[in-house]
Structure 1
Amino acid sequence: MGFLGVLEDKHLQHVPATVVLAEEENHRMEATAGLKHGTGKDADIILIPQPSSDPNDPLNWSYWKKLIIMFIISYGSILYAAVFSPLLSPALVNIAMEFQRDVSDITVISGYMLLVTGASGPFVSALSRKYGKRPILIASSIFGFVGTIIGSATNSYDGLLAARVVQGFSISAFESLVVSIIGDLFFVHQRGVWVTLIQFILGAASNFSAVIVGPITENLGWRYLFHILNAFTALECVLLVLFVPETAYIRDRRYEIDELADENLSELAAVERRHEANLEKDDENDMARLETTTTTPPALRPTKTFVQELSIFNGTFSDDNLLQLVLAPFAVCANFAVLWVVIVTGGLTAFFVAQSYVMAQIFMAPPYLLSAAGVGYLSLGPFIGGLLGSIFLGTILDPLIKWCAKRNNGVYEPEYRLLGMIPSLLTGIGLMVFGYMAENHFSYYVTATFHGMDLFGICCATIASSAYAIDAYRDMSSEIFIAGMVFKNFLFYGFSYFVNDWEVRSGPAVQFYVFGGVSFAMILTTPVFFFWGKRYRSFWHRHNLLEKWGIRTHAEL
């Protein structure tokens, strides 16, 4: 039994994703001494995955370059994934009155956008796996820009629907690919803070947009939401083209030491020493490596120039056919741990989105009688809650897994990420108390506080489970987050059809008691994957259904 009760496996000598992280506490220093390590305070940390000798390997890029890329990607996520979805929420009643429609009809407009987002997800996954992430991100950004232009020019219900549908094609890439880009750019011990940032953007930043959207709607009209967004979406298109090169990279398989069942660290270390001495040569005893499109040794490849990095297309990164790649996000759900991550992150987020659907309906009615701006200001509660949750888990998650690894003889288990699920129990409490207070007309300051509590818990859950998915099944990370994005957006679409009517029929108390109860049920399944997760990773490696079906999720040329 490992540290904190993670059950050891009896079938494999080395379970994929279990890695030596803290060398000073490990007894295999001789085997790992030749591997690349971190610097400064992380000097004892073995870099996982190991970067290749190629200067164009994204893992070898300067930290400043990585920061610029993440800034631009995060900015895009704020626009397309965080702002677009709740853009009309505080203005639902105003738009319904202008078009003489029911509030539920206006909610369905955003529902159609989310339906398009979910339906386009598998194609985003397939195309990005085949041709890289850069062209897909640029195309998605252009869709967002065009949809915003349509929204700013429309004067009809159908025109607004068309604008939201076009915008829907921009969202899936910035909800899913951005998370796998973290795995492209950063090592295991660096990922926690970036996963936290992206999950904060996807979960909490949307609430701050509502604070701005409400007053704009109240003072200038809802069309100005689109007018103002035009400039921001145009800027993102330019930044992506100029400063976000392709992050997909075909790395020699031996460097992916977190994905292999046979570590063979001493052999890899020996190869690295030969690289350093410029004595790299073909050796029949070397670990199996991927074929590449060039015979030039990685260490001798020239660094790409700025102009070369502007290329939209950089070849193909998989020889699988597109149909197989489209099916991959659904196929990965045959893995129960992946399915659990998809359901937990999608389900909890869907409950929060359903909460946003009924906010205007609850608080613009008696006895609250708030304006659109007032409803928008209520989103400060969940924004602060999400911010605190993200700061809390972002601050402790990476140090926590390092601490656990050192007390586990230097060996890191991805299940340690799931310790971050403990604060997510606040989700159920927040949802239930919010429903009770809204039903009994408590002060909206108090309801906003518990609204913030449930998002605090949701952020902790999504950050912890997403980080677990990246570390435990990194070779499937793109497909996992595409599957999660598809699942939750289909849920959003389904909820748009009934949550408003359900709130009218039953009141917010019953509605949020159900949401809270289901949240508790999902979160309380976490110990199964914490204690038995390592054994399941071993089982999956030995009985990988994707291999039996001929579906590959790792770029193998």
Structure 2
Amino acid sequence: MVERIQTAKPSDFVEKIFVAAPGTEIMMDEDAPRATERRLRNLQHETVSYGRILLVPQPSLTNPNDPLRWSSFKKWTVLLNGVAYAFNGAVTGPMMAGGMLQLAAFYDVSLAMVSYANGATLICQGFGNLFWMPLAIKYGRRPVYRTSNILMGLACIWLAIAAEKSYIPFIAGRAFLGLFQAPIEAIVPSTVTDIFHLHERGEKISIYGLGVLGGNEIGPLVSAYIIQALSVRWAFFIIAASIGVNMMTLIFFMPETKFTGPRPAIAVAGDDETTTTSPPDKPQSEHREEIGGCSSDASHVIAEKTYRESLAFCSGVDHSVSLKRAFLRPFILTAYPIVLWSSLIYGLALGWNVILGVLVAQLFAPPPYNFASGAQGLVFLSPLLGSLAGTYLCGPLADRIATWATQQNHGIREPEMRLPACAIAAVLTFVGALVAALAYEAGTHWVGPVGGLGVLAAGAQMGATLAMSYSLDCHKELSGELMVTISCLKSLIAWVWTWVVNEWLVADGVVVVFMTVAAVNVAVYLTSIVFYFKDARLLLNTPYLQHEAGYAINAEGMHHIAASTYMPLCTGPMIDWWFGWIHNTAQYQLWHPHDHVFSDWEGPRDNNSTYIGGHHLVHEYIGGNLAKLKISFRDPGEYFGDSWREDFAAKGYATAVCGRVGNWTPETGEVLYTGHLVHLVKEERIGCRMRSHFWLGDVEGVVDPAKRAAGVPGFLPRGLCQHATEEMAVLASILPELYEKYSRK
């Protein structure tokens, strides 16, 4: 259970709330002793084959217009409309692949110059979202869908005409096309978070991803035959007609999905308590929603919108949203490690579509393959099939992996539970690129290189969807701004390929190009390990600092406090004995007579170094403030890995005392875990050195670095550094004698 104690400034009222922070969510009910959500049974759930899923977010109890309350048919209609919109936009990007040579000949320019037209679309597509998404956040999704869609159709008509005129109007048209189609990168994922619950989003995002990547692959396939049979002009006319059909479905079957009303909070409340949530920066609504669902107290009846009302161009303006802030927020998000990682993965994955789009004619038109435009288009059939396989691997399969991990974690869903699928994506990307490059270089039958491209596409599809799902899980409340940031950085990466890849292929060959790009992909995938890596393990490979004491905020937003104490005549076994022996107040005050006030113990403990699994309940002064803490001791393997004993022996360490530290309420027995402690002990020639490290701000359910950092009181890091230094110095002076007198030998 995640509880944060907040004290209201005007009074001494203390409110206990569940922190529904980005990423970590309670999702399942269970009756196990460590069940985290047994007091949340009165919230709305869905029963599935593997248990009861808590609906996150909770649908409104009183407002029938909440998109989360729509029927499954209506939700799927909206989703498929959005996917069709994204598909049409994705088709327009690489649709010139089958006509690159014809356009180069018609305009009398190099193949690289025609590739620059693709680059113009990509860069304007990425940065166009800086204009579109603030509008979608303030005015709603529906007006952006309709406006951008009709402008996208007009741009295709422009390109159809310019395709038989001159190069400058054509490349300008491609730039405007990118600007008008930009929302396909951001607005559909935002729609998914608007209408689907957390446990449903992985599959829906993978379907959206299939629409985008499928458009990137079906577009060149179909347009190549149109170009071969008719002309480049007719390829653009036909996609404009498809956009027109989608315009009709958007008008009549795409209601507004942005919801600004209150929803029940996921709160820890008693049977008689109620909670209400309102959107950020908005005042509480006039009515109250009760989390049990048994009753509601509304000052007026909220009527369901009629179908005619749902056809309005704009359903309303969110006056709590500042357009200036909405514009600036994507730039701020570039400082978030998760956003940067997702952007790199997404950009490198979709970059393969760009690379194929500008290289397919260069690779397969010359001997030994001699593919005409239609056959060049058919090359994309293999990546399409690969994308279908990747959709399953990163959608339903990744959801099952995450759900299994959630069950093992007692119903708590962590965003990182999706990341193991990155290993599959990395293998498919590397193997696919290797097979395609070697087969092409050897001049094998076309099945070799084309088959390799299919395997490569499966890995790319997985990477793009996993990156998007992971970042949305972590920062779902910023879904619009988040996708703008990812789209901008992705387009920047893809745009670079359009400028260099044609000439790079000529200079170094397909093996060097493909394997270099694949190696970069795999290297970035491997960085997902960082999100599982423990700071504590770094200490094993870090020598003593000249002055290892101080405090700082790390990249994850946690306050890292360090104190190092030389303890003459003390040993690792003495330290283990001490933590098993100390339990009452008299013993505890020996450790720090001034700061230590009270001590008690829960769980296993004896006079023979047994303390792991036990809980030390203490009152002590830190930085002049009385803290009531519960320290739950954990096995060192949780911090240093299963091979910690072997690693310790190799590095000269004797033991480590590890645990979770939490704020403890003696009256109720409740605890809010807020950090970790590691006392790492290394044997010296005469005695040992205690390297004490603390990480504060790791509240269960809070993953946003800014929220973690802000949750730690300002006095605590400095106060804890001083306190740890003093108490370990005192312990060094008393431990050898106490161990000799009281330990069982």
Q: TM-score, normalised by structure 1?
A: 0.86
Deviations 1:175-195 (A, max 9, x none): 211011111000011111101
Offset of residue 105 of structure 1:
1.4
**Is the strand fraction higher in 1 or 2?**
2
Which is worse superposed, 425-434 or 231-240? 425-434
Deviation at 1:392, TM superposition (A): 2.8
The amino acid across from 1:507 in the alignment is G
CA 1:324–1:58: 2 relative to 1, 3 Å: same
Would the aligned equivalents of 2:160 and 2:232 in 1 still touch at CA under 8 Å?
no
Say which SS state the counterpart of residue 86 (structure 1) adopts: coil
> For the Cα contact (< 8 Å) 1:37–1:43, is it kept in 2?
no
Identity rate, percent: 25
CA shift, 1:434, in A, is 2.1
Counterpart contact for 2:220–2:377, Cα < 8 Å: yes
Cα distance in structure 2, aligned partners of 1:355 and 1:51: 43
- Cα deviation, residue 288, structure 1: 6.2
SS in 1 for 2:420: helix
Using the alignment, how far apart are the partners of 2:278 and 2:445 within structure 1? 63
Matching of residue 127 in structure 1 with residue 135 in structure 2:
yes
Distance 1:515 1:199 in 2: 21
Query: Which amino acid letter does the alignment assign opposite residue 184 of structure 2?
Result: F
2:449 corresponds to which of 444, 447, 450: 447
Residues 82 and 188, structure 2, Cα contact 8 Å, conserved in 1: yes
Moved more, 100-109 or 389-398: 389-398
> Which residue of 28, 48, 52 corresponds with 2:56?
48
Structure 2 residue corresponding to 1:76, chosen from 61, 82, 85? 85
1:522 equivalent in structure 2 = 524
Which protein is bigger by CA-based radius of gyration?
2
The answer on 1:215 being equivalent to 2:225 is yes
Task: Report the CA distance shift for 1:271/1:293 in structure 2 as closer, same or farther (over 3 A).
Answer: closer
Q: Distance in 2 between the 1:476 and 1:496 partners?
A: 30
The SS at the match of 1:314 is coil
Match of 2:351 in 1: 350
Report the counterpart of residue 63 of structure 1 in structure 2.
72
Contact 1:192 1:467 in 2 (8 A): yes
Partner of 1:276: none
How many Å separate the matches in 2 of 1:544 and 1:145? 47
Mapped pair 1:483 → 2:485: yes
The answer for unaligned runs of 5 or more in structure 2 is 1-16, 290-297, 535-555, 557-696, 712-745
Q: How much does 1:538 deviate?
A: 5.6
Within 1, Cα distance between the matches of 2:50 and 2:249? Answer: 32
Q: Is 1:59–1:186's contact at 8 Å kept on the other side of the alignment?
A: yes
Structure 1: which amino acid aligns with 2:238?
I
Aligned counterpart for 2:117 among listed residues 109, 112, 122: 109
Q: Is the CA contact 1:92–1:106 (under 8 Å) kept in the aligned structure 2?
A: yes
Partner of 2:210: 200
CA change 1:13–1:251 in 2 (3 A) is closer
Deviations 1:482-533 (A, max 9, x none): 1111112222222222211111111111111210110111011111124568
- Contact residue 143 and residue 166 of structure 1 kept, 8 A: no
CA distance in 1, matches of 2:397, 2:414: 16
Aligned to 1:541: 707
Return the offset for 1:214.
Answer: 1.4
Specify the SS of the correspondent of 2:303. Answer: coil
The AA in structure 2 aligned to 1:353 is V
Q: Structure 1 76/15 Cα, relative in aligned 2: closer, same or farther at 3 Å?
A: closer
Whole-Å Cα distance in 1 between the matches of residues 191 and 70 of structure 2? 13
Verify the 8 A CA contact 1:15 1:537 in the aligned structure 2: no
**Aligned in 2, Cα 1:77/1:61: closer, same or farther, shift over 3 Å?**
same
Q: Secondary structure at the match of 1:389?
A: helix
Task: Determine the structure 1 residue equivalent to 2:511.
Answer: 509
Report the alpha carbon displacement of residue 30 of structure 1 after superposing the two structures with TM.
4.3
Work out whether 1:18 is the aligned partner of 2:24.
yes
Root-mean-square deviation over aligned CA pairs? 2.5
Equivalent in 256, 266, 269 of residue 266 of structure 1:
269
Q: Secondary structure at the match of 1:245?
A: coil
Which protein, 1 or 2, shows the higher relative CO under an 8 Å CA cutoff with sep ≥ 6? 1
> Structure 2 counterpart of 1:543, which letter?
A
CA contact (8 A) 1:381 1:449 kept: yes
Which amino acid is the alignment partner of residue 70 of structure 1?
L
The residue aligned with 2:729 is none
Alignment partner, residue 295 of structure 1: 286
Match of 2:246 among 236, 240, 259: 236
25 and 296 in structure 1: CA distance in 2 versus 1, 3 angstrom threshold: closer
The structure-2 alpha-carbon separation of the partners of 1:528 and 1:15, relative to structure 1 and needing over 3 Å to count, comes to farther
Candidates 179, 189, 192, aligned match of 2:199: 189
1:248 aligns to 2:251 (yes or no): no
Structure 1 window deviating more from structure 2 (425-434 vs 138-147): it is 425-434
Return the alpha-carbon distance in structure 2 between the equivalents of residues 222 and 503 of structure 1. 25
- C-alpha spacing 1:395/1:525, structure 2 compared with 1 (3 Å): same
CA separation of 1:13/1:240 partners in 2, compared to 1, >3 Å: closer, same or farther? Answer: closer
Structure 1 residue 220, shift from structure 2 partner: 1.3
Distance 1:40 1:347 in 2: 36
> 1:59-113: CA deviations, max 9, x gaps?
1111111111011111111101x20111101110011112222111111112112
TM-score (norm 2): 0.65
Partner residue in 1 for 2:420: 419
Amino acid at match of 2:374: A
For 1:443 and 1:194, locate their aligned partners in 2 and report how far apart those are by CA, in whole Å.
37
1:342 maps to amino acid = S
> Counterpart of 2:186 in 1: which secondary structure?
helix
- Which deviates the most, 315-324 or 525-534? 525-534
Aligned to 1:550: none
SS of equivalent to 2:509:
helix
Q: Deviations over 1:464-499 (max 9, x none)?
A: 222221212111222221111111222222222221
Shift of 1:365: 1.5
Displacement of 1:270 in angstroms is 5.2
8 Å Cα contact 1:143-1:169 kept in structure 2: no
Structure 1 Cα separation of the partners of residues 319 and 424 of structure 2: 39
Quote the Cα distance in structure 1 between the aligned partners of 2:272 and 2:187: 35
TM-fit CA distance, 1:172: 1.6
